[in-house]
Structure 1
């Protein structure tokens, strides 16, 4: 619900004189007064970012991003990260909501890894999520037109199939598929799940050294396609995907850019196909023809997602409410 704000836009004393000066500075000029203020109520996993980052990094103008809760009654949008909400909602705002303010539900985890919290169904005005039908869609990457047309040559490879994974739950579909696949083809498996730690500076080179990468998601949901797809694509490795349907994947990228496990009757059949491609350069290079005209944009920034929320607020001043979050996300 919306309530009429109090005459004072601050709900109590400021934390410090520095905070007071900072607030005064933001609104000293007419230009500043036209800023769209986005308050990040719960920093995503504690990751903070600068107030002017939208302009300085993402070329999105007219935004002021802050974590200072003294801005609550002046904020056009309140971004709330789902995974940081306390189970009893005790860390959410308790003050009356100004009539112009929109609460934005931010969540990039799948429904399987997002707790369904009692009381949040009618709290939010907008959704910020990877789903295509969210208000503010924030996929983990995108395929964009290249500035020039040229043949793409993948880097040199010395391994056929690789996988890097930290958490491997035996009950997950990807674990079961991997267990069957590795019976028929060697999979170079790395990460904490296999006791083979990969340093940050070795992550990309390791992935690039493989002809195929197992882009297996930890759960299967509509539109749930993460950086596990886009990073291999960006380094010239063909992803083998396990998540949502091929048709769903083809809403995001060309069908000849990846291999879907559902195209094969068994893991053994997939292994045989990968071994065939390993021996046939012409067939293998066919998975890179799309790179003549397109390139990959990998997005892995909470700050960018917040700036996209601000950009949305800049362009959409109409009233919005979202009263069926539970049904929409968890079904």
Structure 2
């Protein structure tokens, strides 16, 4: 009896261990790919948008967060008359620089939290240090931000994958802000001496309308997803939309490969650092066998891309994080945070 009891006890422990392991694995997958449904705040929260990013207002009619993004108990408003009744006020950095003097002297209602928002890299913004000791939370593409809002992410596939490998062009690059001194410009200049690269954008007098970009890139085998600056986690629509959505294999210039691999499968892209020179990269691209090329699409069998393009969704996400954030937090050195972590790639 004692021996049988011990056996049943060990069996029960093994079953419990397997159950705990299963739960932890499920939680890990949810952490990587995100929950099926956003977290629900314990009460109704009001988020005041002090400035619409780039002065481009969006429609807030109805229950936007719930109706569009299934984020409940979260109310967005751009009505500054509701300032004293708002739980959170979010400020976008570009407009803050232009009109921030008034903001710096505003009295804050007890318990109200201020969020500093930007999707730009440290190379593309200035004046961050002016906002030390003011903001409680950050909203950024950076994974260590309080409200992490990437340009896109991988999610489990919701429908069967169908893909057409027919292509007519080798490589394309779409660039809106071109500077010869940029690393990406120098890279393309050298690459173009070995590989036919079709360049689109205002700088090259081949502009694309907003709805033309994806159909155009979809005719190419490769897309040059070259970031305008190299910073930790700064992986923009150039990868998520211009490459993945269009169906071209991205050739990336940005943070190190291991940083990309935190967000996308290692065999979903080509990193320029994998090759000693643009000439060596060209040789790899031109001699790639069809079977090898198809391997860059294996991730599509189980995953698909979710894009974050609506500022309303980004602001609604503040509510999903609200209860898990440090309520007494204040960024005493906002610029230091924005730059220091970047140096720790």
Same fold (TM over 0.5): yes
Structure 2, unaligned runs of 5 or more: 1-42, 341-345
151-160 vs 232-241, greater mean Cα deviation:
151-160
Superposition deviation, residue 311 in structure 1 = 2.3
181-190 vs 302-311, greater mean Cα deviation:
302-311
> Does structure 2 conserve the Cα–Cα contact (< 8 Å) formed by 1:40 and 1:80?
yes
- In structure 2, the partner of 1:281 is 290
| 1:1-331 correspondence to structure 2 within 5 Å | 34-49=43-58, 50=60, 52-86=63-97, 89-92=100-103, 94-147=105-158, 152-231=162-241, 232-277=243-288, 280-313=289-322, 316=325, 318-331=327-340
Give 3-state SS (helix, strand or coil) of 1:104's partner: strand
1:197-249 CA distance string (max 9 Å, x none): 11222111111111000000000000000010011112211000001000100
Q: Distance in 2 between matches of 1:117 and 1:72?
A: 23
Q: Distance in 2 between matches of 1:89 and 1:118?
A: 12
Give 3-state SS (helix, strand or coil) of 2:181's partner: coil
User: Normalising to structure 1: TM-score of the pair?
Assistant: 0.85
Poorly superposed stretches of 4+, deviation over 3 Å = 314-318
User: Normalising to structure 2: TM-score of the pair?
Assistant: 0.82
Q: Distance in 1 between matches of 2:129 and 2:211?
A: 41
- In structure 2, the partner of 1:26 is none
1:39-98 CA distance string (max 9 Å, x none): 111111112230521111011011111111111111110100001113572242633111
> Does structure 1 conserve the Cα–Cα contact (< 8 Å) formed by 2:129 and 2:333?
no
Superposition deviation, residue 178 in structure 1 = 0.5
Structure 1, unaligned runs of 5 or more: 1-33
Larger helix proportion, structure 1 or 2?
2
Pair 222,316 (structure 1): closer, same or farther in 2 beyond 3 Å: closer
> Does structure 2 conserve the Cα–Cα contact (< 8 Å) formed by 1:215 and 1:241?
yes
Q: CA RMSD in A?
A: 1.8
Superposition deviation, residue 147 in structure 1 = 3.5
> Does structure 2 conserve the Cα–Cα contact (< 8 Å) formed by 1:63 and 1:310?
yes
Give 3-state SS (helix, strand or coil) of 1:89's partner: helix
> Does structure 1 conserve the Cα–Cα contact (< 8 Å) formed by 2:175 and 2:203?
yes
Pair 235,161 (structure 1): closer, same or farther in 2 beyond 3 Å: same
Q: Distance in 2 between matches of 1:177 and 1:317?
A: 43
